[in-house]
Amino acid sequence: MKRKVKEWLEDGTVDLFLGYRMNCGHPLPHCFTKEEIDDVEHLLVSRTRYSLEKIATHLAKRDPELKIGLLARDCNQRAINVLTIWHQLDKDKIFALNVNCCPSPIKPQADCSYMSGEQTSSYKVQVGIDNLMDIEKADDFSDQEKNVRWMYEFQKCLKCYGCRNICPVCFCAECTLEHKDLIGPGRLPPQIPIFHLVRAAHMAGRCIDCGLCEDACPMDIPLRLLYRKVGEIVKNVFDYNTGESSEQSPLSLLGEKVSLSLKPM
Ligand code: SF4
Ligand code: SF4
Ligand code: SF4
């Protein structure tokens, strides 16, 4: 892998390579360049996860001609696909070096082992939403209980925006979550459930189930499950697997559905 990165930098395939290296005892994102090619020896492949593609999006915005290489786990690759569809990355200028983070080759969506094995505290099981719950189980609650449990989770929100800031597919120049007419400023928790439902709606056809938002959330709100539910609806209604391909836009599928539904009987 290090050899490949050096090769790409030296022959000009990429202008820079985004990966990880140890910094002050922590594995942190690092930008490897041809000028400091020996640093590539410090390239790290560990369980570290960060949205390198989000950094790539920022860099591409500043210089659209930049050729960017990056380490890509399955979730990174799905995000790259989505960002390509939404014209945030140019697929001719992005070079992913795929890392197999799980025992099998590129695993299907929503099959990440990263979150497994962590115990959820019992109060969440009793009154909130267990972060490890699957969609079917969360759907089994009555409507009233669902409402009470989700509102319990949402009211813990600190409005820190950590979930949005870490999210690889939150790239909007102006974020609705900061629009004062929709989400009133100066309130904690933010207006619920609107704050969370707005973001959930925006994740339709975008969320690639990386789980970083939930990792970032200081209040342990089960965001991944919420957006998985959104992804399930998108899959059921539009037969669209978010992030599976960089060719198929959810919008074109929506167009097909609309035109189909408008066909005369
Ligand atoms: S799981 Fe969270 S951070 Fe990852 S793409 Fe979905 S909303 Fe964004
Ligand atoms: S929360 Fe919605 S508006 Fe804000 S950056 Fe994400 S997708 Fe854009
Ligand atoms: S990271 Fe958690 S606490 Fe912060 S805004 Fe998002 S949901 Fe709220």
More confident residue, 111 or 44: 44
Task: Give the contacts of 89 (CB within 8 A, at least 6 positions apart).
Answer: 53, 56, 57, 60, 80, 83
- Terminal Cα distance for the chain, rounded: 57
Confirm or reject: Cβ of 172 under 6 Å from ligand 2: yes
Confirm or reject: Cβ of 224 under 6 Å from ligand 1: yes
Rg (CA), the chain: 20
Measured distance CA(142)–CA(138) in Å, rounded: 9
Two tokens, residue 14: 């990429």
Atom of ligand 1 nearest to the CA of 214: 2
Candidates 166, 170, 196, 230: which one to mutate for ligand 2, based on the most atoms within 8 Å of Cβ?
170
For the chain, domain boundaries? 2-98, 122-252
Per-residue pLDDT, averaged over 141-157, amounts to 95
Confirm or reject: Cβ of 199 under 6 Å from ligand 2: yes
- Residue 106 — very low, low, confident or very high, per pLDDT cuts 50/70/90? very low
Say if residue 189 is preceded by a cis peptide, omega within 30 of 0: yes
Q: Which of 47-51, 151-155, 216-220 has the lowest mean pLDDT?
A: 47-51
Per-residue pLDDT, averaged over 56-68, amounts to 97
- The ligand minimizing its distance to the Cα of 166 is 1
pLDDT digits (tens, 9 = 90+) for 163-177: 999 999 999 999 999
Write a three-state SS string for the chain: CHHHHHHHHHHCCCCEEEEEEEECCEEEEEEEEHHHHHHHHHCCCCCCCCCHHHHHHHHHHHCCCCCEEEEECHHHHHHHHHHHHCCCCCCCCEEEEECCCCCCCCCCCCCCCCCCCCCCCHHHHHHCCCCCCCHHHHHHCCHHHHHHHHHHHHCCCCCCCHHHHHCCCCCCCCCHHHCCCCCCCCCCCCCCCHHHHHHHHHCCCCCCCCCHHHHHCCCCCCHHHHHHHHHHHHHHHHCCCCCCCCCCCHHHHHHHHHHHHCCCC
pLDDT at 48: 72
Residue nearest to atom 5 of ligand 2 (CA): 170
More confident residue, 254 or 57: 57
Length of the chain: 265
Confirm or reject: Cβ of 235 under 6 Å from ligand 3: no
pTM greater than the 0.75 cutoff: yes
CB distance 196 to 222 below 8 Å: no
Q: Which of 43-47, 75-79, 99-103, 145-149 has the lowest mean pLDDT?
A: 99-103
pLDDT digits (tens, 9 = 90+) for 221-265: 999 999 999 999 999 988 888 998 888 776 666 656 544 443 333
pLDDT at 260: 40
pLDDT at 7 over 60: yes
Atom of ligand 2 nearest to the CA of 174: 3
pLDDT at 264: 37
pLDDT digits (tens, 9 = 90+) for 109-143: 445 545 455 556 678 888 999 988 889 999 999 99
Per-residue pLDDT, averaged over 22-30, amounts to 90
Per-residue pLDDT, averaged over 79-100, amounts to 93
Confirm or reject: Cβ of 170 under 6 Å from ligand 2: yes
Measured distance CA(207)–CA(249) in Å, rounded: 13
Candidates 180, 196, 199, 226: which one to mutate for ligand 2, based on the most atoms within 8 Å of Cβ?
199
Task: Select, from the ranges 51-55, 184-188, 245-249, 251-255, the one with the highest average predicted confidence (pLDDT).
Answer: 51-55
Atom of ligand 1 nearest to the CA of 208: 5
CA of 213 to the centre of ligand 1 (A): 5
- Cross-strand pairs, 18: 31, 70
pLDDT at 90: 96
Confirm or reject: Cβ of 160 under 6 Å from ligand 3: yes
